[in-house]
Chains A and B, each alone.
Chain A
Amino acid sequence: EAGVAQSPRYKIIEKRQSVAFWCNPISGHATLYWYQQILGQGPKLLIQFQNNGVVDDSQLPKDRFSAERLKGVDSTLKIQPAKLEDSAVYLCASSSRDPSGRPRGKGTGELFFGEGSRLTVL
């Protein structure tokens, strides 16, 4: 079974530029998450999708960050304009839930993460 795919793996930009990250979750996983992980910290949830609808985006800085999940599969996270403090690894994860959001498998705790996209803002 293929894992969560993310691209690009690395990106270096200057402040005030824009950047976009792409994520392809595990096939059949209806729930998709974007996390931000700053060096030395735990992942912080930015946005959670159930199919193509947003479940939680309370910690997404909406003045500069946007995310979409068209057709309920792939997702894109965009930052425009970037700030120095946006330097981090952006992790995409998916989990197996049925269309109504109920968890399958090992319950609500198991997320499958991609390798992440490491962003450096200069």
Chain B
Amino acid sequence: GQSLEQPSEVTAVEGAIVQINCTYQTSGFYGLSWYQQHDGGAPTFLSYNALDGLEETGRFSSFLSRSDSYGYLLLQELQMKDSASYFCAVTTDSWGKLQFGAGTQVVVTP
């Protein structure tokens, strides 16, 4: 079957670093994306990795290892506004079909 596994919740203090891991097992793989969703809001795109390695965008970085079917999102210098759910998602075909994980709720405390 197809699955994406990520932790359900992570708690950290302001200024800390958080790493959200994602392991996947899908029928096809074109790339790994990360999305952020605040309560009641729309998912918003954060990053996309099609090749192995690290992609950095400001305070957020994303990593992919295709051989390990594994990736992670790194949140640095955590701020209160980073409290949200974070979803990893795999593009499973050339048409851009996106399969999402169940999400990781990040709680940032003062």
A residues adjacent to B (C-beta < 8 A): 4, 31, 33, 35, 40-45, 48, 50, 55-56, 91, 95, 97, 101, 103, 106-116
CB-based nearest A residue for B42: A113
**In the complex, are the beta carbons of A56 and B98 less than 8 A apart?**
no
Q: How far is the CB of A119 from chain B (nearest CB, A)?
A: 14
A113 touching B95 in the complex, CB below 8 Å, given contacts A41-B102, A42-B87: no
Asked if B42 contacts A91 (CB within 8 A), the reply is: yes
Nearest CB in chain A to that of B91: its residue: A108
Contacts of B41 in A (CB 8 A): 115
Number of interface residues, chain B, beta carbon within 8 A? 27
Question: What is the 8 Å Cβ interface bit string for chain B, positions 29-68, against chain A (1 contact, 0 not)?
Answer: 0111100000001111101101000000000000000000
Nearest residue (CB) in A for B6 is A42
B97/A112 in contact, CB under 8 A: no
With both beta carbons as reference points, the residue of chain A lying nearest to B93 in the complex is identified as A56
Instruction: Name B residues whose Cβ lies closer than 8 Å to a Cβ of A.
Output: 4, 30-33, 41-45, 47-48, 50, 87, 89, 91, 93-103
If A43-B100, A108-B94, A109-B89 are given as contacts, then 4 extra A-B residue pairs at C-beta distance below 8 Å, sorted by A number, are: A4-B42, A109-B33, A109-B47, A113-B44
Q: What residues on A are CB-neighbors of B99 within 8 Å?
A: 45
Q: List 12 A-B contacts (CB under 8 A).
A: A4-B42, A31-B96, A35-B100, A41-B103, A42-B103, A45-B99, A48-B96, A56-B93, A103-B96, A107-B50, A108-B48, A113-B44
Q: Across the interface, do B97 and A45 meet the contact criterion of CB distance under 8 Å?
A: yes
What residues of B have a CB within 8 angstroms of the CB of A116 in the complex? 42
- Name the one of A35, A56, A106, A110 contacting B95, with C-beta atoms under 8 angstroms: A56
Contact in complex: A42, B31 (CB < 8 Å): no
Q: Are A109 and B97 in contact (CB under 8 A)?
A: no
The 4 closest A-B pairs by CB, nearest first: A109-B48, A109-B33, A42-B100, A113-B42
**With A109-B89, A109-B91: A114-B30 Cβ-Cβ less than 8 Å:** no
Q: Decide: B48 and A31 in contact? CB cutoff 8 A.
A: no
User: Are the CB atoms of A109 and B100 closer together than 8 Å?
Assistant: no
- Tell whether, in the assembled complex, residue B43 and residue A56 are in contact, meaning their CB atoms are under 8 Å apart: no
